[in-house]
Structure 1
Amino acid sequence: MRIALGVAGGVAAYKAVLLLRLLREAGHAVRVIPTAAALRFVGAPTWEALSGESVSTDVFDDVPGVAHVALGQSADLVVVAPATADLLARAATGQADDLLTATLLVTRAPVVLAPAMHTEMWEHPATVANVATLRARGVHVIEPASGRLTGADSGPGRLPEPDEIARVALEVASRGARPRDLAGRRVVVSAGGTREAIDPVRFIGNSSSGKQGVALARAAVARGADVVLVGANLAQPPSGVGTFVPVVSTAELRDAVRAAAQEADAVVMAAAVADFRPVHVPDAKIKKVAGQAPAPIELVENPDILRELATERLRPGQVVVGFAAETGDADGDVLTHGRAKARRKGADLVVVNAVGAGKAFGTDENDVTIVDGAGEVVETAAGSKELVADVVWDAVLKRLAR
């Protein structure tokens, strides 16, 4: 595979040297396309020595070969690491004032951008809008890591490690450029974990991070859908997910999903929803009394949102998808319980995955089996949550086409 490796002008450019080596060791031909600013961090001789190819930044270099067009046309994959705030802005607005942005404008190959910048820059509304624009066009923008930045700063905006960028980039390349096959469709996705108040400061909850639901929303946006993401207790509002509706409790999530689902072609319930809630929630914090056992907390069952949606079908032809986060026990393994849930709920599809012991919740990867309403296996997927998201949408599209 022929890879164009773009490098923008940030201090994290030194990590791209390791990324280049990983891609080369995996057997791929790599042409490095730095910006002029990037060469102030890592010089051209380093890139040329490690890639075995010449390095240039200007659209006027190699005029007879029309390099500013040829590089994008010949690439099977384009990766930019680091992608600075400036690079994201220029790519989002279609500028082509250097060899790297011209390549991004010309290429029809899958594009992966790995942002790196200070937290304030990553969270600025302009960057958020640029990332959303790029994702809507099908560009794969990796979420930056959180950690030590330049100087004493720490927070989200750190370039992911080279092996993680390489893994995601090669995975994206294996899938190819995302089709716009959800264009004209409206979809609703739920994500995260609901919380049920015990008192004003405590709650019953779960460990769901919402990463899989966010990946589903972003994949749907990239594939052309009009997306509503209902997010329960996500750490921060995600970018590139369409319309975001934050909620806390199961009742709030139910109301938000049902409202959005009235006009939806598909509803994907990826949120981990609390099955029970306290009957009574005091107005004041429950105090610990020395020597006394706490009063029991009486629970009542929450509405079964997935079953409601599957039974009512708020729009004709609507496809309803559930998730079954399961653990094996004496009565059966994860898939056995997932199949039973699929038959109970009546959804078109149920995505079954194992949780606990470092699996699924809070991780960047997932391993799922998709079953139909009868519990029969339709598809399996293992890898990043982005990959799983695309497999889920592929399965949804088959049902929408019926």
Structure 2
Amino acid sequence: MTTALTPKRELWLLLTLAGIQFTHIVDFMVMMPLGPQFTQLFNISDAKFGLLVSAYTFAAGASGLLASLYVDRFGRKKLLLTLYVLFALATLACALAPTYDTLMLARIAAGTFGGVMAAMTQTIVADVIPFERRGRAMAVVMSSFSVASVAGVPIGLFLAARLGWHAPFYAIAATSGLLALGAWLTLPPLTEHLKHERKSAIGSIAQVLRDKNHLKAFAFSALLMFGGFALIPYITIFVTTNGGFSATQVPYLYLCGGAATLVTARYIGRFTDSVGKAKMFSIMAVFAIVPMLLLTQSAGFGMWGILLVSTTLFIGLNGRMVPGMALVSSAADPKLRGTFMALNSSVQSAAMGAAAFVGGLIISRDAQGMVQNFWGNALVGVVATFFSLWLVGRLHLYGAPPSIPAGRPA
């Protein structure tokens, strides 16, 4: 199911969705480099900080389950804007939170609306963009991760250093308000999916879950998230304690990684469509394994050595997400795509939260406060990556030419 748009309107739609994703990603990512500040400010352990990160993703997972009951029963534009405004208000509540407990509640609220919003943007891309151009379209939307790393997180950290940790969340809430107005002006109604006769909400969910291909796609999606988030939330803690990074040097980690992924995502999107989505995913997943392992042993590399390894890791992790999400969205039955993607959001969020929680249990501190056992987090990520490589060629892709089986170039 696709909605025909002019090339110019299509580009505006993708840029709008990228902007929405940008604020959602910055809201999530800015928590991780602020980890050292939060552990000192609230006098909490690394595990409790991991729980603060996990709470966002677990809330997103729960809200995805709830959203699967209604997501295909409203116009995409109306639902996306409603969720986005609520997300902006929840982020404002984060900025106003005075204690760890109130911040935890605000993060749960932000995750509740942000997680479903991410699923909605991916659903809209799959609804509007034909299969043969979906890799490039996903690359445009997912460049929001790169821009968030290059600009959003460093600016957020700059504001936090100068004005306090509340400031980044005020800025995200204000930016979200402006983008919501832009989305209201530029997005088409996106109501084509409402023309299909559909079952009850529970019936639609049951139909999604009965499809073995959907279950494979959910497992693949969970592994994709788990492989990265066993490691990602603790990178800043590791480089500041073991790697010798100062608080003012941490933004360079995200600046370099984001700039590199911003450049490479465009080419990865093109290759995703030309050489095949599954093949490109496999290449980038294998590429990411080496810096995953190397980063945990990089304490003595110095700032430039750590930046080289972390930047390579960002390229690999982001590079596998472009073909990975093109695969997941294409594995959904178009008639049930909204319900599928809402459930997939739950699966991804649960996997991210579980990975962050498990990662917090694996690492520990010695008497000098140095991070120990970080290699175990990387090992978990590598194992998840190998399982995702095993699953990827077993997905059936809707919209692919019938002569091209799953896992082959399309």
Same fold judged by TM-score > 0.5?
A: no
Bigger fraction of residues in strand: 1
Q: TM-score, normalised by structure 1?
A: 0.25
Bigger fraction of residues in helix: 2
Q: TM-score, normalised by structure 2?
A: 0.24
